[in-house]
């Protein structure tokens, strides 16, 4: 073929208005010209050809391509050959369509994998500054553009501020000029930004697009940016910011699929930013709560100690002069109330210490030995009520990983509760066993029990299940809540069973410590 006479290639395609190829492509019908001299209106695509056939490759009404044969002499093609080419065209169309669908599926899988990996990278931290840096990097890498900028939107001043900047290749001499962190832009001077913020949809800009506003095009040209996509970061209807994806290396048209990928990633980024914001608020509230508890304990302990001290001095004075029954009742109420306040302060401080203790300080230890220590320390209280406190401990228990202080407090609360809520002469049985990769502790009593209506709230803070006969039992309602907090922090589970008048069984299990 003489390329000088036929200069069409990938960069200089044949127009659909020319020759039998164009006619087959436009109409979707086979074009058969046995002699070009008899069909001057259907110019062959090769000058000098006398006969030619163009068969469209049709699939679902769409022309995917054209098969064309040409000959320099007539009589080469007949109707049988044309029919054969049409059959071949139908098979070729199926093959081309399958190849196209396969490429689309591959591209979709690649896009989904890229979005998934980018989303995991963004959401794997709760630090806001780190999230912003990861968003800029992930969006730049996913769309393979030269840089990305994340802006914060300030509605009160109608400005956007630079929060993070990422350049794909920091060492390369990229064309675009990127702003420094904390730099602000007024939306009045950037109509495109204002459109994205107000309408909350993406916008693609090109420096060679003469339809852009004068200001937008001037900014792109001044900063040497060929193309920019502005994508709003929206989470639950709230605008968290704007991402700008920039191509400064060469002219580029961002496709609809690329903009869609940017929007999908922007949705994940906005959710991560919102979670970070909520996490920061929770941290501030936790800090405030901790400070309030510490302040309250300090401010209340001193006056409470004074009240308790002067109460005893008053009791000693009244005993010397003679105390009436009414005075004795008043003193007992004062002592009981003061003791309740003291226990409440101690429980609050204990709960706060447990919640603030770091898991890095935990160790591997024998939970069975700890239970033995707790039971021995509670024997005196059980004997005062003439109760039988018995311990059953399985031999060769595997160790657990955790805080000795926290778990000692949890076990002490369960045993102490059993003693308090079991009448005089009752029985309490503590067991420690190894079962299915877990160490289980249970405390069973034959005390007052808990009615079904009160069982649902048994682990709530400050809740006390007051059953008939328990009016004299003091407490703050924090003991079982503390047990649940401790056990769940150790990746275990708390459980109980109870029936009124038959007693209760409270227990928990912890996973066995992993072997080093």
Predicted local distance difference test score (pLDDT) of residue 390: 93
Residue spans of the domains in the chain: they are 19-104, 123-280, 285-354, 358-511
d(CA 448, CA 422): 6
Predicted local distance difference test score (pLDDT) of residue 225: 92
d(CA 366, CA 404): 9
Higher pLDDT, 403 or 477: 403
Closest CA to 394 of 430, 423, 341: 430
Higher pLDDT, 315 or 246: 246
Predicted local distance difference test score (pLDDT) of residue 388: 92
Q: What percent of the chain lies above the pLDDT cut of 70?
A: 83
d(CA 452, CA 437): 31
Identity of the highest mean pLDDT range in 130-134, 268-272, 368-372 = 368-372
d(CA 36, CA 51): 6
Residue 297 scores a pLDDT above 70 = no
Looking up tokens 């009244």, which residue turns up? Answer: 318
Query: What is the torsion angle, in degrees rounded to the nearest 10, for the CA atoms of residue 438, residue 444, residue 449 and residue 453?
Result: 10
Residue 429 scores a pLDDT above 90 = yes
Residue 231 scores a pLDDT above 90 = yes
Predicted local distance difference test score (pLDDT) of residue 515: 60
Closest CA to 230 of 267, 192, 261: 192
The rounded Cα 504 to chain-centroid distance in angstroms is 40
Nearest-5° Cα angle at 498, 496 to 501: 155
Beta carbons of 478 and 460 less than 8 angstroms apart: no
In DSSP terms, which residues pair with 219 in a beta bridge? none
Domain 358-511 bears CATH identifier 3.30.565.10? yes
d(CA 271, CA 240): 9
Which 8-state DSSP code applies to residue 360?
Answer: G
Q: What percent of the chain lies above the pLDDT cut of 90?
A: 22
Same topology between domain 19-104 and domain 123-280: yes
pLDDT digits (tens, 9 = 90+) for 21-62: 888 888 889 988 887 776 555 555 566 778 888 899 988 888
Predicted local distance difference test score (pLDDT) of residue 35: 78
With a CB cutoff of 8 Å and minimum separation 6, the contacts of 227 are 145, 204, 205, 206, 207, 246, 247, 251, 252, 253, 254
**Residue spans of beta strands (DSSP E) within 280-353:** none
| Alpha helices by DSSP H, 357-392 | 367-384
Supply the pTM of this predicted model: 0.48
CATH number given to 19-104: 3.30.450.40
Report phi then psi at 335, rounded to 5. -65, -45
Residue 17 scores a pLDDT above 80 = no
Closest CA to 341 of 316, 308, 315: 308
Beta carbons of 319 and 296 less than 8 angstroms apart: no
Predicted local distance difference test score (pLDDT) of residue 2: 37
The rounded Cα 32 to chain-centroid distance in angstroms is 62
CB count in 10 Å sphere of residue 448: 24
Tokens of 205: 């800009």
Predicted local distance difference test score (pLDDT) of residue 4: 38
Once rounded to an integer, what is the mean pLDDT over residues 363-386? 91
Beta carbons of 246 and 147 less than 8 angstroms apart: yes
Beta carbons of 397 and 434 less than 8 angstroms apart: yes
Predicted local distance difference test score (pLDDT) of residue 454: 84
Query: What is the torsion angle, in degrees rounded to the nearest 10, for the CA atoms of residue 13, residue 16, residue 22 and residue 27?
Result: 140
d(CA 351, CA 216): 58
d(CA 308, CA 461): 26
Lowest-pLDDT choice from 232-246, 356-370, 433-447:
356-370
Residue 391 scores a pLDDT above 90 = yes
- Domain 123-280 classification at class level: alpha beta
Looking only at the bridges linking them, the beta strands covering 427-435 and 438-445 are: antiparallel
With a CB cutoff of 8 Å and minimum separation 6, the contacts of 266 are 139, 231, 232, 233, 234, 243
Residue 7 scores a pLDDT above 50 = no
Crossing angle for the helix pair 256-321 and 325-356, to the nearest 10 degrees = 150
SS3 414: helix
Q: Where does the pLDDT of residue 127 fall: very low under 50, low under 70, confident under 90, or very high at 90 and above?
A: confident
Beta carbons of 496 and 457 less than 8 angstroms apart: no
What mean pLDDT is reported for the chain?
Answer: 82
In DSSP terms, which residues pair with 389 in a beta bridge? 428
H/E element holding 146?
none
């Amino acid at each position: 073929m003489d390329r000088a006479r036929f200069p069409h290639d990938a960069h200089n395609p044949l127009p659909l208005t020319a020759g039998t190829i164009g006619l087959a492509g436009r109409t979707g019908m086979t074009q058969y010209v046995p002699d070009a001299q008899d069909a001057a209106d259907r110019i062959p695509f090769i000058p000098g050809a006398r006969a030619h056939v163009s068969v469209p490759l049709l699939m679902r009404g769409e022309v995917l391509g054209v098969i064309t044969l040409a000959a320099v002499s007539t009589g080469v093609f007949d109707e049988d050959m044309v029919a054969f080419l049409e059959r071949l065209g139908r098979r070729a169309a199926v093959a081309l369509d399958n190849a196209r669908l396969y490429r689309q599926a591959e591209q979709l899988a690649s896009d989904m994998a890229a979005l998934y990996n980018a989303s995991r990278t963004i959401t794997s931290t709760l630090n806001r500054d780190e999230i912003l840096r990861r968003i800029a990097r992930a969006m730049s890498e996913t769309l393979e553009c030269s840089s990305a900028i994340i802006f914060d939107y300030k509605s009160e001043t109608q400005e956007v501020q630079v929060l993070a900047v990422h350049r794909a290749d920091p060492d390369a001499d990229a064309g675009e000029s990127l702003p420094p962190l904390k730099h602000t832009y007024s939306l009045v001077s950037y109509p495109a930004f204002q459109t994205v913020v107000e309408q909350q949809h993406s916008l693609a800009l090109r420096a060679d697009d003469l339809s852009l506003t004068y200001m937008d095009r001037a900014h792109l040209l001044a900063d040497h940016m060929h193309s920019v996509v502005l994508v709003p970061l929206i989470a639950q209807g709230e605008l968290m910011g704007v991402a700008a994806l920039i191509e400064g290396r060469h002219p580029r048209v961002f496709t609809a699929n690329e903009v869609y990928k940017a929007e999908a990633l922007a949705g994940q980024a906005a959710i991560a930013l919102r979670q970070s914001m909520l996490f920061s608020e929770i941290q501030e509230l936790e800090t405030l709560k901790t400070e309030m508890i510490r302040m309250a304990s300090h401010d209340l302990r001193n006056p409470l100690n004074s009240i308790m001290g002067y109460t005893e001095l008053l009791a000693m004075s009244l005993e010397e002069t003679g105390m009436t029954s009414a005075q004795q009742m008043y003193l007992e109420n004062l002592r009981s109330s003061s003791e309740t306040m003291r226990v409440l302060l101690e429980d609050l401080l204990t709960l706060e210490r447990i919640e603030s203790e770091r898991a890095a300080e935990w160790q591997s230890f024998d939970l069975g030995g700890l239970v033995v220590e707790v039971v021995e320390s509670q024997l005196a209280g059980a004997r005062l009520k003439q109760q039988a406190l018995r311990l059953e401990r399985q031999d060769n228990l595997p160790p657990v990983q955790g805080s000795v202080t926290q778990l000692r407090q949890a076990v002490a609360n369960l045993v102490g509760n059993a003693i308090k809520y079991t009448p005089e002469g009752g029985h309490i049985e503590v067991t420690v066993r190894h079962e299915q990769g877990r160490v289980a502790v249970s405390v069973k009593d034959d005390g007052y029990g808990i009615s079904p209506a009160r069982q649902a709230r048994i682990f709530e803070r400050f809740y006390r299940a007051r059953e008939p006969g328990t009016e004299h039992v003091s407490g703050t309602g924090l003991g079982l809540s503390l047990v649940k907090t401790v056990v769940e922090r150790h990746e275990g589970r708390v459980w109980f069973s109870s029936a009124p008048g038959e007693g209760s069984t409270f227990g928990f299990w912890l996973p066995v410590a992993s072997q080093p």
